[in-house]
Structure 1
Amino acid sequence: MRVMMIVKATEDSEAGVLPTREEIAEMGRYNDELAAAGVLLAADGLRSSAEGARVVFAGGAPSVIDGPFSEIGELMAGYWVIRVESMDEARDWAKRIPFQDGVVELRRIFEPEDFPAG
């Protein structure tokens, strides 16, 4: 199964505060562990919502709302996509993320076999 580990935004990430060299090195080691274990499919950090936009569909007509967005706790600051055998394994990997503070949400990704045939 594939699982997305979603890093929730913080006031610092939304303000564009970059990690220190030490934090980047520590995260690099974590990413290397994921890769060496053969579970890492993708990983990226995201720029603040000030550089983003939302496309909202209502009544069949899309409209665009430019960032920044105020719901910091609902925004993403980054993610990993991993392939694991179970949500327990995903939880174990998430607990090893080298964060001092933060929230990471785990969400299973739909696979083609999850949908009805036809």
Structure 2
Amino acid sequence: MRYLLLSLADENTPAPDERLFAEMGAFIQEMSAKGILLATGGLEPGGLRMTSSGEEVTVTDGPFTEAKEVAVGFALVEVRSEDEVLELARRFRRIVGDGVSEIRRVQ
């Protein structure tokens, strides 16, 4: 089963420090060595939003002021169960501290 893990941030989220980079690097290396981690990366907070209505397609530049949180990072993982992805997400949250993550199974 593949899952997309999203890390969300808001204006109160602290900037990463050297400790975070070191711990996250070790975590990423471990998941890569086990073949669990398929892709990971940071996401630019602004981005683009595309909406469609009938034949009309509109593109809007971010950041989006109405958004309270934005996705700032992701990991695509392949695991055997939902329990396994929940444990990975718990380990991630312990490394990065307070905040919100979303977990979505890839269909």
Correspondence 1:1-118 to 2 at 5 A: 1-11=1-11, 18-49=15-46, 52-70=47-65, 71-73=67-69, 75-97=70-92, 98-110=95-107
Cα RMSD (Å):
1.5
Instruction: Give, in angstroms, the shift of residue 18 of structure 1.
Output: 4.3
2:35 partner SS: coil
Larger Rg over CA atoms? 1
Residue 101 of structure 1: how far off its partner (Å):
1.1
Aligned partner letter, 1:46: L
Distance 2:75 2:22 in 1: 17
Structure with more of its chain in strand, by fraction: 2
Q: Percent identity?
A: 37
Q: In 1, distance between residues paired with 2:12 and 2:22? A: 19
Q: Secondary structure at the match of 1:35?
A: helix
Structure 1, unaligned stretches of length 5 or more? 111-118
TM-score, normalised via structure 2 length: 0.88
- Structure 2: runs of 5 or more not aligned: none
Moved over 2 A (4+): none
* Range with bigger deviation, 93-102 or 17-26: 17-26
Instruction: Tell me how far 1:59 sits from its aligned partner.
Output: 1.3
Give the number of equivalent residue pairs: 104
Q: 1:12 deviation in Å?
A: 5.0
